Amino acid sequence: MNRGEAAIFLSSIDLALRKRFRFRIAYCQLPIAYFEFVFLYSLFLYSCNSCFFIRVIRVMKFGIIGSGSWATALAKILTDNGCSINWLVRNEKIAHHLVKRHHNPNYLSSVYFDAKLLSLSTDIKKVVAESEYILVAVPSAYVIDTLKPLSTDAFNNKKVISAVKGIIPHNNQLLNDYIKECYQVPLEDYFTIMGPCHAEEVAAEKLSYLTFSGMDQKGTAELASKFSTPYLNTIVNKDVYGVQYAAILKNIYALGAGIAHGLEYGDNFLSVLIANSADEMAGFLRKVGARHIEVGVHEEEDPVTHKKNANYATSVYLGDLLVTCYSLYSRNRTFGNMVGKGYSVKAAQLEMNMVAEGYNASRCIYLINKEFKADMPIAETVYKILWENVKPSEGVNHIEQFLV
């Protein structure tokens, strides 16, 4: 508090006292004890007020696991809001480059960071130990190896945030189920960050939306506030399982859309394919217990934001599916497009040099659906094209008979 603010604060206390006790005495007639009382009372109120704000506007200590494009985009969002981050990067070369040149040399190199806000490390134990919120942003296939150095109690009294847009292929588990089994992280301490949100558009500061899901809505809203910027709006919901499965499935359907595009199907066919994919995805989500999978129905108001509650036609479900199927930034659409044009799966993987989550996800969902038994001809055909050597043209011809 500067001198001017202190003067205003003391004057307001004096005015409040005069109104309360209804006296009108000139300052020159007041005893010294009155001024001492006003000063001490002001200090007391200011200290209480300071403690209050410290409690409400507390500093969250974030740790980011991963240094790819999505991790870099999330690091940009947090540091744009003035948050200091502990950041696990792949090697010392990347760390040195970020310190000296202020950008990631491999991903989103147009994004520049304030080095004072970055604590960079190649030691995951150090990053986790020094952070309160652990944001996991590595491809699902690398989650187990990345977390392997940690002890089973490493996440005790910490919150885990998943920015993983896939399913762990070794055991067909969502991240929350895996860390509960191996690190005893309860679902109450777990949050998700889902799109639709391409890292490239975050880098360019084009308006985007992120959905934060967690069991504790107030805690989720507090977390979401740390990511809200002029170029990024945040939404909160409680559908932890539904949003994760939606993020997995949309990658599979984007592969299918890419395959069709590579086979030179037109926009008319793609629109029908994607509309049917949306319906198929909704059927699976209902089977796994996701709520609000309706269009045009909003059951209640969000108690935190007071907006209408999200349904299936909103960003994290249908919106993410649409952008992943149509956008040129979509890795899965690009991967599928290459397969449709005649690339082998291996050749497409080598050419991209980036992970298309839908490849492993197609096999995981195929196996998981043996339990849930949802009707999924599109997802099953994508799986067979990628894993059972069904010709892309034959696969899409097979899908045609199911489309309405």
Give percent of the chain above pLDDT 90. Answer: 71
* Residue 393 DSSP one-character state: H
pLDDT band of 56, cuts 50, 70, 90: very low
Give the per-residue pLDDT at 18: 47
In contact, 62 and 78? CB cutoff 8 Å: yes
Residues in the chain: 404
Neighbouring-strand partners of residue 237: 213
Q: Is the pLDDT of residue 35 over 70?
A: no
Is the pLDDT higher at 58 or at 332?
Answer: 332
Q: What is the mean pLDDT of residues 251-271?
A: 97
Averaged pLDDT of the chain = 86
Residue by residue, DSSP assigns 223-234 as HHHTT-BTTEEE
Give the per-residue pLDDT at 12: 53
How far is it, in rounded angstroms, from Cα 315 to Cα 257? 19
Range name among 201-205, 236-240, 306-310 with the lowest pLDDT average: 306-310
pLDDT band of 339, cuts 50, 70, 90: very high
pLDDT band of 7, cuts 50, 70, 90: very low
Give the per-residue pLDDT at 60: 82
What are the residues whose beta carbons fall under 8 Å from the beta carbon of 351, sequence distance 6 or more? 338, 343
Query: Angle CA(98)–CA(100)–CA(105) in degrees, nearest 5?
Result: 40
Give the per-residue pLDDT at 117: 94
How far is it, in rounded angstroms, from Cα 236 to Cα 303? 10
Give the residue from 131, 127, 126, 146 showing the smallest Cα distance to 68. Answer: 146
Q: What is the mean pLDDT of residues 220-249?
A: 93
Give the per-residue pLDDT at 290: 77
Q: What is the mean pLDDT of residues 122-137?
A: 96
pLDDT band of 392, cuts 50, 70, 90: very high
pLDDT band of 41, cuts 50, 70, 90: low
Q: Tens digit of pLDDT for each residue in 68-96? A: 999 999 999 999 999 999 999 999 999 99
Q: What is the pTM of this model?
A: 0.82
